[in-house]
Amino acid sequence: MSALNLDDFAHLIERPDGGARRDAEERRARLAVPPGAFGRLDELGDWLAATQQRVPVRPLGQPRVLLFAGDHGVAGLGVSSRPAGGTADLVRATLEGASATAVLARGAGVQVRVIDMAVDCDADELPGDVTRHRVRRGSGRIDTEDALTAEEAEAAFRAGMAVADEEADAGTDMVVLGDLSVGGTTAASTLIAALCGTDASVVTGRGGAGLDDLAWMRKCAAIRDALRRARPALGDPLALLATVGGADLTAITGFLLQSAVRRTPVILDGVVSAACALVAQRVAFRSPDWWLAGQRSGEPAQAKALDRIALNPLLDHGVTAGEGTGALLALPLVRAAADLAAELPVRD
């Protein structure tokens, strides 16, 4: 196996095609509808033309929901509304079609793929195609120990890259990215606080179910302690992910970067994908040009990360469910932009 050099991504990732974007803008000026009549959908159509390198745009034919799954040892401190080690139940509900994500995806006619990176259960309790990229069972308690070893971090990062290649090779033309985790927002908030140079209290949210004050204080203390451990690793993104990330967050970061290499656009969901996007931006400054922010989750850490990346969420409806739901709710908007850009006739 060749050595993993993250610096390569800065050279491999190109910006979406600026010429195609200009051609899309010129074509839009010749449509029969008044300029600006579709608001932000016009901007989305131009962006899609640039990512696809074609005008008119091709309608989205094969989007896919990807959910990276993992448990986090820090959840044992009572920092989540869900029980520690409960990610396996989230995975099963999604696979059985009973989760909110599964319901929304079914209605949109989109397939859901779950990738187990560190779910805290025996591997044989889940399907083999879900567990084949698993790195370990659960990630370490980041307030007192590293989430991963250096070897595990590289394996998780490479797994994310492999998933990106699999999706690109399968013809996936838009990824709706999410996570299934317990304790993941604590790890994500620590990454964002470390990279933005801010205090734990500024990034600590109450999660989808709304933590009470005591649980919020426990979460804030855990992020504070993890942040002390994270700061010495700030110069090395992979070491930072090993220290306070986890196998799922590390895999998502590798996935985002390799998806940009393969020119696969991605819709980000909540604070976890935003944290990974922020790490990926540190690795390759052009990579955010391939992403959209699906919706504002209400988590302060997500808002800080998206502001740093300069991504403006498409939706703000107060949805805090996570698990990819926010990104999935934004997909119809992106599809509509693609359809309009593809099919509206131009004037003679």
Which residues are known to be catalytic?
323
Alpha helices by DSSP H, listed for the chain, are: 8-12, 18-29, 40-52, 87-95, 100-108, 128-131, 150-169, 184-196, 200-203, 213-230, 237-244, 247-261, 271-283, 300-309, 325-343
| Separation of alpha carbons 197 and 193, rounded Å | 6
Cβ–Cβ < 8 Å for 247, 117: yes
Pseudo-torsion of CA 101, 102, 104, 106, nearest 10°? 160
Torsion angles phi and psi, residue 291, rounded to 5? -125, 155
* Cis upstream peptide for 232 (omega within 30°): no
| Separation of alpha carbons 302 and 189, rounded Å | 8
Adjacent-strand bridge partners of 182: 71
71 conformational bin, left if phi > 0, alpha if psi -120 to 50, beta if neither: beta
| Separation of alpha carbons 153 and 252, rounded Å | 12
Cβ–Cβ < 8 Å for 163, 133: yes
